[in-house]
Amino acid sequence: MAISEDTLFLIYEIIDVIISGLTNGSVYALMAVGLTLVYGVTKAFNFAYGSFFNLGGYFAWILINFVGLVGGYFSIFLAVIPLMFVVGYGLEKTMVAPLRKRDEWEMKVMMLTLGLALFMDNLYAVVFGGRVKSLPPILEGTLEIGNLIFSYQDIMIFFLSITGILLFGWMLNNTRIGMAVQAVAQNPQGAKIVGIPKNRIFAATFAISTAMVGFGGILLSQKYFISPMSGGAIMIKSWVITAFGGMGSIRGGLVAAFIIGMLEAFVGWTFGMSYGMIALFVLLLTTLAIRPQGLMGRG
Amino acid sequence: MKRLTMLATILSVLLLLGPAAMAADTIPVGVPLAMTGAYTGSGDDYYKGIKMAIDEINAAGGLLGKQLEIIRYDSKEFAPEVVMQGADYLCGQKKVASVHAGWAGWGQDVRAYGKYEVPFFADDGSQAAVDVYRENPEQYANIFQLTDVGIEQAKSMFRVLMALPYEYPNKKAVIINTDDSWGVEVGDTLESSFKEKGWKVAKRETVPYGTNEWGAILTRIRRIKPALIHIEIPSAQENITFFRQFIKKPTQSILSLGWGITPREVVENLGEGADGIVGEMPTGLPGPVAPNAAGQAWIDKFVGLYKHQIPAGSWATYTGVMAWANAAKAVGDAYNFKAVNAYLREHGYEGHQGLIKWDKDNVLRAQKAAPVVHYQVQGGELVAIYTDPPTTPYRDSKFIVPRWIK
Amino acid sequence: MSMKRMLTIMTVAYGAMALMPLFVGDIRFIMHILIMCLIWAVVASCWDVIMGFAGIFSFGQVAFFVIGAYASAILAVNFGVPSVLAIVLAGLLTAGMGVLVGLPCLKLAGPYVALVTFGVHMTLMPLLRGDIGKAIGSGGSVGILTIPPVNIFGFTFSSANLVPTFYLALVMTVACSLIIVVVIKSYWGTAFLALKDSEDFAVSLGVSAFKYKLMVFALTSFLTGIVGAFYGHYIGMISTRMLELDLFCTLMVMLVMGGIGHYPGAILGAIITVTANELLSPLGSYRAVTMGALVVILVLALPNGVMGFWNKPESAVQEG
């Protein structure tokens, strides 16, 4: 059966859109996993998530422009990720932990992190200027397979995102701290009885999620841009994905990320880019109407 | 209750205190720009031009013997009450002698500043702002626009695109624009211009700011194989990400970024890779080689101060400040607003490129002395290739066929 | 907090405001700030009611404000409806929208409600700017630039005569605040608190979660819609720029400053935040940084905002 040229083009187009969706999806997955982890374990909602994403990017930018790129991106990761971990840990211990003792602390944490986001975003604007910054690409060049083109940068980002998530999953299941985190998430009372230091675990979880989002920030800032004001949009997107997947469910977050990545790509292709946001919320609303806890959230 | 009374008293006192009285020997000038929020980048560029002009005037002895003092106001993201507040603060409270802004509210500013008589200069480039002006030209006589409206700029872009020494392989065009009034004005005008000339607009897409993934759109573009792609997004990052993704497998198309070529990040990030892209800057001074000695001196001074070529708006606001100062000097009193406004309207201003005049809508339409400058990126920098109107190749510049078109 | 105490604080605050024109009546700039204080006070109060009292994490307050503004503007400009009627109708329309938005939120847990209501906010921008918006007269991305001012028996309340407009705003704000106080202190209010503290228990006692949640949405949206409409008629122009995150964050700051769930903290929070914003303006970009830092410090040091001065310090609630 002969395929007409038009149909062939259409197939290529669809494959292109799928690839676009997958690339976006992997990035979203990286962004979402940290947020859903932190919420699932500590029930703390981090409004400043997007600001931390940018923090990773800005740290990398400082290292590249003032210290010089020695050892390539590998050394950047090695330097920034532990730094983000420390920042997250410190922040949790000094700001979030004291709030946990108060009533209505969920709302207070939201307010606190909102203030933090305001502070950080505008601090970036003051320190780094309002204009966008970019990072050099991790790899250059493209790969052509037939009519399809892939950039090595995209492939590397996808690869690193997936690796990051897998590493994270491994850590959750195979390390003491990972198991402790899971225990606290599933049964805080039980964990306490068994003697797991809840406060330290909370801090560690926050720190891990901060490190992950910072990693995402470095990865993405080379493809897109670091702008002091983009934190809000990033936070909203991560938030939508986590809610859609079920807040607290890492697997749900992953699935949600890819579904949303694909949805955006296809809606953009069919209807136009302006409808992406609307489509996203329509999907979210319908899902929540049927399953109020998200795709895979615990009820 | 004691605490509350204390609180109330403190608040009232703080509110009433206000800033210290101004020294009597300075003339305050209002500068409302976006200092925080999404539009900070453009605010920056406009400020450079304004500051350069004010510093020059002060260095030469000031205006009518007094030094000029800049009073800044943060327009943030141009919410209606913020724009209105800016007007009340600068004109009502600080009693400035003139107001110089860049993007100022796209119509909202006319309403806000039109309540006063203080000469007001903005760079809205918006037909909506002109429509508001036309409702009551007498009341809004103090509003002066520094660039032509989006519709006219779009027509200028179209004229130059058609005048390029290049033979389009087909008559298919793709237009992509933002969803705000600027993008829609330009997009609509271009679309109808193309259709009039017998072209087919194979794809017209409206995108929100922040669009960085162009996969779906590029897929379509690669299928259409248009002779011309026009993107109208007045922001750096979307243009940069588009081009990077486009060039991975480019179509044989002329790429026109309109106003979007002017943010410095575009050439700074893409460098020589961007060679071949065309775009425009309204009320511009062609560069890097200026049309005359005075212009060249200005460009050199700007580059010396800010270490980069001129972005959109800097020359326009500089000229605006100079025009105002000139009018104030001629009238003899910076606070005789009616006279200053009338003078500006009647006499215009003799700038670097000749006499510029505001038209009956108080708009600085594209004219020979304040042309729309059309650029092409060559050697990693914006090089002027055309000025319009009238559509003229600029000096001995050459249009280079982009390297991705074989 | 007893009704008497609430009313006393409100009387002092509004009373102080009422006296301001005597001192600064001819300074346009300050009068404008005062009017905005009043408008935001109502919006912040409504947000306090729905979040602090009913415990519903609604993030749609700004969206309802904008809907009210647009509804009234469209009615007045496109259909020639007289301003006062337009404002009331806009309030009712917004209340309807509030119920519509509230319906899906009934079964959702905290952060999900926040997300859905925020979703309304986020989708409002492309909707108003796009074809649907233009079809109903929103003016697309330009907005509506000529809104007739409030006209009562021939007397115009616009930015041309600020002092009368200020008093009109004051009357409106006081009325809205009184409605809120009455609601909080009534059976409704107790029902809200019960639902917030322990929904299952309250339901078992016969408190209909469904009914009360919808009523909260309806009431707060109605009041917010009305002030939104007033805002439009007062400023004379509206645009989708009102939907930018800047405003949203400022409103949240007001709640933090005032103390959530401790009415009338929201009113004080609004006044303080607007004033602080203005005072810090000369700092330019540092203004927002300072505000952010202030919020963080306040949440840590003054968990109940300004109202923390009046309430006994809460005993630490240990998490199990």
Cβ-Cβ pairs closer than 8 A, A with B, add up to 92
Supply C117's token pair.
């209501």
- Contact list in B for residue C309 (CB cut-off 8 A) is 3
Please answer whether residues C144 and C77 qualify as being in contact, where contact means their C-beta atoms are separated by less than 8 angstroms.
Answer: yes
Domain ranges of chain A: 5-290
Candidates A220, C221, C34; CA nearest to B15 is C34
Q: State the Cα–Cα distance between residues B154 and B107, nearest whole angstrom.
A: 19
Phi, psi of C106 (to 5 degrees): -60, -35
Write down the mean pLDDT value for chain B: 89
DSSP letter, residue B371: P
Contacts of B196 (CB under 8 A, 6+ apart): none
**Across the interface, which of C107, C260, C318 has its CB nearest the CB of A292?**
C107
A24 CB neighbours in chain B (<8 A) are 213
pLDDT in tens, B135-191: 999 999 999 999 999 999 999 999 999 999 999 999 999 999 998 888 999 999 999
- Mind listing the pLDDT tens digit for each residue in A166-189? 888 888 888 887 888 878 777 777
Beta strands B172-178 and B228-232 are: parallel
C19 CB-contact burial (10 Å; exposed 0-12 / middle 13-18 / buried 19+): exposed
DSSP B97: S
To test the contact with chain B by mutation, choose from A123, A124, A132, A147 the residue with the greatest count of B C-beta atoms within 10 A, namely: A132
Give the residue, A86 or A108, on which the prediction is more confident: A86
B332 at C interface, C-beta within 8 A: no
Query: Domains, chain B, ranges and CATH?
Result: 23-145+312-356 (3.40.50.2300), 151-283+372-393 (3.40.50.2300)
Query: In a mutagenesis test of the C interface, which of A92, A288, A293 is the best target, namely the one with the most C β-carbons within 10 Å?
Result: A288
Contact flag C291-A118 (C-beta cutoff 8 Å) = yes
Inter-chain touch C241–B79, beta carbons under 8 Å: yes
The answer to whether the beta carbons of residues B27 and B100 sit under 8 Å apart is no
pLDDT tens for each residue of A154-163: 888 888 888 8
User: Which ipTM was obtained for this model?
Assistant: 0.83
Residues 6+ apart with CB under 8 A from B28: B22, B68, B69, B70, B71, B94, B95, B96, B97
C81-96 burial, b at 16+ Cβ within 10 Å, e below that, comes to bebbebbbbbbbbbbb
Give B-chain residues touching C13 at CB under 8 angstroms. 4, 8
In terms of Cα–Cα distance, which of C294, C289, C301 is closest to C273? Answer: C294
DSSP state at residue B63: B
Q: What pLDDT score does B10 carry?
A: 52
Residue B92 confidence (pLDDT): 85
Higher pLDDT pick, C112 / B295: B295
Least CB-CB distance to A119: which of C118, C127, C289?
C289
Computed on alpha carbons and rounded to an integer, the radius of gyration of chain B in Å comes to 22
For residue B389, cis peptide bond before it (omega within 30 degrees of 0): yes
Q: Burial of B9 by CB count in 10 Å (0-12 exposed, 13-18 middle, 19+ buried)?
A: exposed
Q: B40 and A265: CB-CB below 8 Å?
A: no
- The residue of chain A with its CA nearest to that of C58 is A107
Q: B8 vs C13: CB contact, 8 Å cut-off?
A: yes
CA B338 – CA B324 distance, rounded (Å): 13
pLDDT at A264 over 90: no
Mean pLDDT is lowest, of A54-58, B6-10, B265-269, C191-195, for B6-10
Cβ-contact B260, B234 below 8 angstroms? yes
Question: Which residues in chain C are contacts of B128 at CB distance < 8 A?
Answer: 142, 145
Least confident of A141-150, B8-17, B385-394, C92-101: B8-17
| Dist. CA C2–CA B402, nearest whole Å | 75
Which is nearest to C238 in space by CA: C107, C108, C105, C146?
A: C146
Structure tokens at A212: 């992950």
**Which chain A residues are within 8 Å of C245, Cβ to Cβ?**
232
Q: Is the pLDDT of residue A126 over 80?
A: yes
| Three-state SS annotation for B279-343 | EEECCCCCCCCCCCHHHHHHHHHHHHHHCCCCCCCHHHHHHHHHHHHHHHHHHCCCCCHHHHHHH
Mutant choice from B206, B217, B243, B248 vs A, greatest count of A C-beta within 10 A: B248
Q: Is B73 on the interface with C (CB under 8 A)?
A: yes
* A265 in contact with chain B, both atoms CB, cutoff 8 A: yes
∠ Cα C134 B214 A54 (to 5°): 95
Yes or no, beta carbons of B80 and C143 under 8 Å apart: yes
Q: Does A26 touch chain B (CB under 8 A)?
A: no
**Given a contact as 3+ CB pairs under 8 Å, which chains touch C?**
A, B
- Report yes or no: B88 at the C interface, CB cutoff 8 Å: yes
Token pair in block for residue B294: 């005075």
Q: Map tokens 């074989």 to a residue.
A: B406
User: Rounded CA gap, A184 and A204, in Å?
Assistant: 12
Question: What is the maximum span of chain B, computed from C-alpha positions, in angstroms?
Answer: 82
Distance of alpha carbon C136 from the chain centroid: 25
**Burial classification of residue C44, based on how many CB atoms lie within 10 Å of its CB (0-12 exposed, 13-18 middle, 19 or more buried):** buried
Q: How far apart are CA A67 and CA B110, in angstroms?
A: 48
**Cα–Cα separations (whole angstroms), residue A260 to A158, A160, A252, A263:** 16, 20, 12, 5
Contacts of A122 in chain B (CB under 8 A): 36
pLDDT digits (tens, 9 = 90+) for C216-235: 889 999 999 999 999 999 98
Chains that touch A (3 or more CB pairs under 8 A): B, C
Using the predicted structure, report yes or no on whether residue C319 has a pLDDT greater than 50.
no
Q: Where are the alpha helices (DSSP H) in B232-292?
A: 236-246, 264-270
Cβ pair A247:C127 closer than 8 A: no
Of A105, A243, A289, the CB nearest to C115: A243
Q: How confident is the model at residue C308 (pLDDT cuts 50, 70, 90)?
A: low
Q: Which two tokens stand for residue A290?
A: 């049927």
Query: DSSP code of B230?
Result: E
Mutate to test the interface with C, among B15, B91, B109, B131 (most CBs of C within 10 A): B15
Q: How far apart are CA C91 and CA B378, in angstroms?
A: 57
List the single residue in A17, A142, A230 with the smallest CB-CB distance to B216. Answer: A17
Record: contact C292-A119, CB cut-off 8 A: yes
Would you call B278 helix, strand, or coil by DSSP? strand
Chain B residues within 8 A of C16 when measuring between CB atoms? 8, 12
